[in-house]
Amino acid sequence: MQSLASTMVEHEVKGRSPWADARKRFVRNKAAMFGLCILIFVVLFAIFGNWIAVWSNEELDFNVMGQVATMGQPSIENGHYFGTDDLGRDLFSRTVQGTQISLMVGVVGAAIAVIAGTLYGATAGYIGGRTDQLMMRAVDILMSIPYMFVLILLLVMFGRSIAMLFLGIGLISWLDMSRIVRGQTLSLKNREFIEAARATGVSTWKIIIRHIVPNLLGVVAVYATLLVPLMILTESFISFLGLGVQEPLTSWGALISEGSKTMAYGTLWQLAFPLFFFVITLFGFFFVGDGLRDALDPKER
């Protein structure tokens, strides 16, 4: 009986865990679960799409070259599930590659922005005083500069490589993150556990890393899920302008740009398939972000 009672108490304690409650609320959110299913589908397509592709993304089909509007249409018989582009390249395999690169840009760019913004904002908010004022005035100055202009300038000056695209998008997207984290840090810095750590002689840097940042994970996670689609949108816009990834690589933005140029010739599939994956991925991230925001909302606890 005693072991049974202790087990019941243990289950009750676990049930009252904030993270457990947040997980339950997230699972009950139908829109969030639908968005999560979409993202799982897109990720699986990016990982395993090449396994079912008959043609590689660089291989040319000379039988349809120059006759894309008639022979390059989507077909299971010839292995071009999404059809071909004007050069006879398989659109299915190119969409797989575009999905891989766009997701990589979104995730890596968001990770850079989250790490830089979190550390910068937590440092400014915790130290406070003139240091906080100087650091945040620097953020205000940087935010006054059009970030798209800065990104284009970086790509033109240092080359249009995919590594520079990752770095450029991440480095210009941390400013909002730093302001959000700084505001949350100001509300945490005078809490009892921070005062206790300070009284025991824990260094400022260790307090920021071990105590401030872990208590901001909920806010950071929500903002990160909303930041990834913003990174994907930015990369797609840059690629649409022709400044993003270069051939033979491709991305959703590059594929959409190519498809929009051939719409007048009746090759709508060249635009429809990459645009479909682009749109559903954005919706998936937004649904998941909204679900996380509602699940982690302290008012719902």
pLDDT tens by residue, 228-285: 888 888 888 887 777 777 777 888 888 888 888 777 777 788 888 999 999 999 899 9
CB atoms within 10 A of CB 202: 14
- The lowest-confidence range among 125-134, 165-174, 204-213, 226-235 is 165-174
Among residues 33, 30, 37, 23, the alpha carbon closest in space to that of 281 is found at 37
Secondary structure (3-state) at 77: coil
The model's pTM is 0.79
Rounded Cα gap, residues 102 and 230, in angstroms:
11
DSSP H helices in 29-174: 30-52, 68-71, 91-127, 129-143, 147-158, 162-171
Which sign, positive or negative, has the C-alpha torsion 228, 229, 232, 238? negative
Rounded Cα gap, residues 288 and 292, in angstroms:
6
Find out whether 259 and 9 touch, Cβ atoms under 8 Å: no
Q: Which residue ranges make up each domain of the chain?
A: 85-294
- pLDDT at residue 12 greater than cutoff 50: no
- pLDDT at residue 4 greater than cutoff 50: no
Residue 23 corresponds to which tokens in the numbers above? 């997980």
Question: Which pLDDT does position 95 carry in this prediction?
Answer: 92
Cβ contacts of residue 235 below 8 Å, gap of 6+?
102, 105, 106, 109, 165, 169, 244, 251, 253
Task: Encode pLDDT of 146-162 as tens digits.
Answer: 777 777 787 777 777 77
When pLDDT is averaged across residues 15-42 and rounded to a whole number, the result is: 82
Neighbouring-strand partners of residue 203 = none
Rounded Cα gap, residues 127 and 38, in angstroms:
42
CB atoms within 10 A of CB 137: 10
Rounded Cα gap, residues 130 and 118, in angstroms:
19
CATH code, residues 85-294: 1.10.3720.10
When pLDDT is averaged across residues 168-175 and rounded to a whole number, the result is: 78
Residue percentage of the chain with pLDDT more than 90: 13
- pLDDT at residue 93 greater than cutoff 70: yes
Residue 143 corresponds to which tokens in the numbers above? 């935010």
Residue 109 corresponds to which tokens in the numbers above? 């760019």
Residues of the chain by 3-state class (helix, strand, coil), percent to 5: 75, 0, 25
Cα dist. 23→19, 32, 43, 221 in Å?
6, 11, 22, 13
User: Which range is most confident: 20-29, 206-215, 289-298?
Assistant: 206-215
Rounded Cα gap, residues 168 and 147, in angstroms:
10
Find out whether 175 and 121 touch, Cβ atoms under 8 Å: no
Secondary structure (3-state) at 84: strand
